[in-house]
Amino acid sequence: MYVYSQPRQTWYADVTRGRMPDHVLYGMNWLNCFGFTTSLSDLGFSRWNLLKWPISPLQKKFMRQFGVGFQLDQALILLPQLRSADLIITTNDSCGLPVAFLKYIHLLATPQIYIHMHLIPNQFISELLKQPRAIVSVSAQVDISGQKIYFSPPGVDISFFKPQPAANKYDIVAIGRDPGRDYQTLFRALAHLPVKTLIICDPKNLHSLALPAHVTVEHQASYRRVRQAYHQARLVVLPTKHRAISGQTNFLEALACGKPVIAADTPTLRQSFSSSTRSCLYYQPEDVTDLTQKIDYLLHRPKLQLHLGQVARKTALRYSSRKFAEKLTALINLKP
């Protein structure tokens, strides 16, 4: 059984119709192809979840103290289904920790594979993270005594995101909604470059930031619109803060579309995609001058843009959503 931190029934249907990339399912559709019987439930997100409000204060306190969600109401309402499964795959820290907690207090014995995103464990969380059979870390390795930890970057749907001829409507496209994005540095760089730019992000990403000229912002964009934006870009910029664990999926999406990319040289991207050094240009994180120079350099070299785009697609093929699911399959088949 898969456990997600957001509703997935509609998304699953959209994936099957080609409206969304399959990497939002974290390998579930591929496990079906490999012969496993998989399931998911959105019961924890329905209005019939009567545990939501009573447990809400505890979950808010957990968020304030540890900086991560703790969807205990979801885990409790799914408990009968979790108990009847042969294996649980949790796809995010906020839904994975409560399942580990139920195992910690002996309400649940089903084996768990925990997909770890960006949690920095303290003593209490480290105890919970000893409960899963294995942890798949898609970012930096975590050090938990006695725990089996496997590193695997996230995958990308290389059929949904692929090169497509399109007119260059934008010089630059930057996409990403998480708090680790560094649009401040990007905007300061763009102040020196009169280039047409599209930003797709959350309104919180731009709080208190002055929008430069020639920059358009979209806050509500479907995956098909995101894909179109990649296709319409001359190049893609991935601005992230130095120590943020951020940008991996958008990085792969841009590469899969065969786009030249300029990305912040963060430990997260270097550790996740060690083979990407020749498929993009890196700039020093939070360095306005370096980013300005890199953008200006690449925009004036169409041959280099073409070369980077070709190498980018080849790199993305090594990180497909199918390959991510194959790594999960290997863990499923491991003897406890």
pLDDT tens across the length of the chain (336 residues): 999 999 999 999 999 999 999 999 999 999 999 999 999 999 999 988 899 899 999 999 988 888 889 999 999 999 999 999 999 999 999 999 999 999 999 999 999 999 986 666 678 888 898 999 999 987 655 666 667 788 888 899 999 999 999 999 999 999 999 989 999 999 999 998 989 999 999 999 999 999 999 999 999 899 999 999 999 999 999 999 988 878 999 999 999 999 999 999 988 887 777 655 678 999 999 999 999 999 999 999 999 999 999 999 999 999 999 999 999 999 999 877
Domains within the chain, CATH numbers bracketed: 2-155+321-332 (no CATH), 170-317 (3.40.50.2000)
What does the buried/exposed string (b/e) look like for 192-229 if buried means 16 or more CB atoms within 10 Å of the residue's CB? Answer: ebebbbbbbbeeebbeeeeebeebeeeeebebeebbbb
pLDDT of amino acid 141: 54
Q: The pTM is what?
A: 0.92
